[in-house]
Structure 1
Amino acid sequence: MTGRHEPSAEGTYAHSQDLRVYKGVEAWIFDLDNTLYPAETDLFSQINDQISKYVSKLLNLDRKTATEQQKAYYREYGTTLRGLMVEHEIDPDDFLAFAHDIDYSNVRPNPDLGVQIARLPGKKYIFTNGDRPHAERTAAALGITEHFEDIFDIVAAGLLPKPNKETYDLFIEKTGVSPVRAAMFEDLHHNLEVPHRLGMRTALIVPSGTREVFRESWELEGANAPHVDFVTDDLTGFLKAVNGAVHS
């Protein structure tokens, strides 16, 4: 039974699937960007701007053309970094440092989110296509660092991004997580396809009343896909409901 969701009058999503499917989950896996913080926080648009500057300088392109090339690499390879590595043999450390040289002042502590993550039974992980320093700075700004067992970043993944199956396999190998006892939270539906096939419960986090600057229509599709079990635009509220179900 999959969770089909219609927006309520308040703009959040009703959950038609029984949340008790989360009972027995021992590993809670969270994407970082636009998942643990809302899209309107504006971090990811800053990162995209930095990447566009990097591509512009590297390939000697004007910013408009650089942004188009950036998107083309992103769509074909999963990340712009991967595309630049394959086609231009760039230094990934240099790219990651430049891409994440951003202002974190818009990220506000979210103690309510921290409470709900802490209540989830089992271990919690951040699994991101960004790098560990960016994840650490973001989690610290949100005030949720202490709740996570570990961060699995693009470097730990051998620079191969989600949604490649090998990346999920490596995450499972390194963490010892059992997929059938795991749940994953993502803002991109195609990053939930492999977790769903592996047996994880999947939840799609959608933007709250905003279209993120870099989002393409193909990224925003998929809320009704069979590999998406739940959809919400309120992660904290959804986790509160999940906790209510698993602790009942």
Structure 2
Amino acid sequence: MTGKRPLPHEGPQAHQLDLRIFKGIEAWVFDLDNTLYPADADLFSQIDEQIALYVEKMLDVPRDEAMAHQKALYHEFGTTLSGLMTRHEIDPDEYLRFVHDIDYSGLAPNPDLGAAIAALPGRKFIFTNGDRPHAERTAAALGISEHFEDIFGIVEADLIPKPNRETYDRFLARTGISSVRSAMFEDLSKNLVVPHQLGMCTTLIVPQVAGQVFKETWDLEGEPYPHVDFVTDDLTGFLKAVLGALG
């Protein structure tokens, strides 16, 4: 896939004709956190809090120092887990159990999203830097588990997180999908760089509260994010628009 694609800043119906680019897509790949559920669902913030608590206990330091160390590791290594394994040789299984010990009761079933995903033609996957049990619990809470063929988590990635190229290669090898006939949905722009290079159609999910900020950014001349084909703050509405374009 080549060429620039206009982005639907004004909601899922904008530039609807361009959504015909999804014709021929055979595999639909979704990130989990802040993608399949909105950022304001207060789920990932719980994970962030658990990570800080883990670092605080492990290093025996005050909370503010633990959080600063956590963020530094995240920015240097891509995930806090990767940084902790490199710098502190922690047990990754213990870490994953601890940080995903959260309350999922704030997630409500989303039948509209489930119906939109179910209607997409082809195979569907969850591809996350979290672990499989967390993805399974999240998908179950949303009521969308049955629509996905498989979950590819951080353990399946051999603990190497997105956006590392080898993780995407491992995902493609495991699933057997064609990258040029696949679409990926993510809430982090950096995690769409490699998919775009591989020929995937890429969609960035942004928080609704940041919509205007993102609109101004994306409207800048000389667009700074050529690896993102579409952007939306409404995944369900966007998928419905895609389905409408597919006919």
Residue 60 of structure 1: how far off its partner (Å): 1.4
Task: Please say if 1:145 is aligned against 2:139.
Answer: no
**Hey, which bits of structure 1, 4+ residues long, moved more than 2 A?**
1-8, 11-17, 221-224
TM (norm. structure 1) is 0.91
Task: Please say if 1:66 is aligned against 2:87.
Answer: no
- The question of whether the paired residues in 1 share the 8 Å contact of 2:9 and 2:231 is answered with no
- The question of whether the paired residues in 2 share the 8 Å contact of 1:7 and 1:13 is answered with no
Q: What does 1:137-216 align with in structure 2 at a 5 Å threshold?
A: 137-209=137-209
* Aligned-partner Cα distance in 2 for 1:242–1:16: 8
Residue 13 of structure 1: how far off its partner (Å): 7.7
Residue 3 of structure 1: how far off its partner (Å): 3.5
Aligned residue type for 1:177 = I
Map of 2:229 onto structure 1:
229
SS of residue in 2 equivalent to 1:18:
helix
TM (norm. structure 2) is 0.91
Map of 1:79 onto structure 2:
79
Unaligned runs of 5+ in 1: 212-220
Residue 231 of structure 1: how far off its partner (Å): 0.1
Q: 2:5 pairs with 3, 6, 12, which one?
A: 3
Map of 1:89 onto structure 2:
89
Aligned residue type for 1:226 = P
- The question of whether the paired residues in 2 share the 8 Å contact of 1:104 and 1:141 is answered with yes
- The question of whether the paired residues in 2 share the 8 Å contact of 1:40 and 1:210 is answered with no
* Aligned-partner Cα distance in 2 for 1:230–1:210: 16
Map of 1:112 onto structure 2:
112
SS of residue in 2 equivalent to 1:158:
coil
* Aligned-partner Cα distance in 2 for 1:5–1:131: 31
Residue 59 of structure 1: how far off its partner (Å): 1.0
Residue 12 of structure 1: how far off its partner (Å): 6.4
- The question of whether the paired residues in 2 share the 8 Å contact of 1:13 and 1:233 is answered with no
Change (3 A) 1:210 1:104: farther
SS of residue in 1 equivalent to 2:104:
coil
Aligned residue type for 1:198 = L
Residue 245 of structure 1: how far off its partner (Å): 1.1
* Aligned-partner Cα distance in 1 for 2:16–2:4: 8
Residue 6 of structure 1: how far off its partner (Å): 6.4
The percentage of counterpart residues that share the same residue type is 66
Change (3 A) 1:63 1:13: farther
SS of residue in 2 equivalent to 1:101:
coil
Residue 17 of structure 1: how far off its partner (Å): 6.6
Change (3 A) 1:18 1:157: same
What CA RMSD, in Å, does the superposition of the two structures yield over aligned residues? 1.9
* Aligned-partner Cα distance in 2 for 1:138–1:158: 21
Change (3 A) 1:159 1:17: farther
- The question of whether the paired residues in 2 share the 8 Å contact of 1:77 and 1:83 is answered with yes
- The question of whether the paired residues in 1 share the 8 Å contact of 2:17 and 2:245 is answered with no
Deviates more, 1:186-195 or 1:54-63: 54-63
